[in-house]
Structure 1
């Protein structure tokens, strides 16, 4: 039996669930954390926040082999479910690296004055699932930490 590879990361935030939810859909906040890499620059952050709406985020990042050079990496998808402030689900595609979309679900649970976000990314049936799992888990973990910083900066 073949199964999908699922990335699952969690992070607690010291702000209301509504603030965390809204950050994912507000281009001014999202460009501070959404798919941003260390040393990179978000050159485009377009978000149409509705069911079947889309997003495109382009990160210009230095090349590992030659930090004086850079590559632009596009991240895109469309929103499948928006249930403020508890859930956002969307398709996800890296056109330069993937032939098919994957699925991401964000569940946001209020906890006292704050909340906890659980992110699940279904990588699908990948032959190199172990390598993809590690990279995706690291990327989402860094992104959720950057979200925390973006929320503090906009508070």
Structure 2
């Protein structure tokens, strides 16, 4: 990912589940396919996860007959505290972003802070990304319930 000026989006969510359960939901293919990049009107048709630093993931959601691939490359995996990956959508392959997921234990459950950084030229996607991540984290909470 280039180091040009960055735009950041941050979303914070509390979960009733343990930090380990929340963290593992990002890397387990069976669980990932239930919530990450899945849409209510789409169908996840492909999930590949190689959960190691240097590994990658591909999640394909079929929307209105069109496949949308979400791809990432893992940069940091520190279970159950931190996950960092470069991320891009096949429709915008020249515009990767970096996603950091930080999980802090609470007396009951945990708090997750997700930050997505992308180039300033993609600023028009800032609010859409914030809303999208919020919906995905809601889906994660529902999956873990």
Match for residue 21 of structure 1 among 11, 20, 23: 23
User: 2 CA distance for matches of 1:49 and 1:112?
Assistant: 28
User: 2 CA distance for matches of 1:123 and 1:139?
Assistant: 15
User: 2 CA distance for matches of 1:55 and 1:8?
Assistant: 22
Residue 124 in structure 1 maps to residue 126 in structure 2: no
Q: CA deviation at 1:92?
A: 0.1
Residue 83 in structure 1 maps to residue 85 in structure 2: no
Residue 140 in structure 1 maps to residue 133 in structure 2: yes
User: 2 CA distance for matches of 1:144 and 1:33?
Assistant: 8
Corresponding residue SS for 1:100 = coil
Q: CA deviation at 1:138?
A: 1.1
User: 2 CA distance for matches of 1:45 and 1:34?
Assistant: 10
Query: What does residue 151 of structure 1 align with?
Result: 144
Question: CA offsets per residue over residues 82-133 of structure 1, 9 Å max, x none?
Answer: 000000000001122231321000000000120010000001221x51x300
Q: CA deviation at 1:38?
A: 1.8
Question: CA offsets per residue over residues 25-77 of structure 1, 9 Å max, x none?
Answer: 00101101111112111000100000001000000113xxxxxxx21100001
Query: What does residue 97 of structure 1 align with?
Result: 92
Structure 2 unmatched runs, 5+: none
Corresponding residue SS for 2:128 = helix
TM-score by length of 1: 0.88
Q: How many residues in Structure 1 have an aligned counterpart in Structure 2?
A: 142
Query: What does residue 52 of structure 1 align with?
Result: 54
Match for residue 114 of structure 1 among 109, 113, 116: 109
Q: Is the 8 A contact 2:95 2:119 kept in 1?
A: no
Match for residue 7 of structure 1 among 2, 6, 9: 9
TM-score by length of 2: 0.93
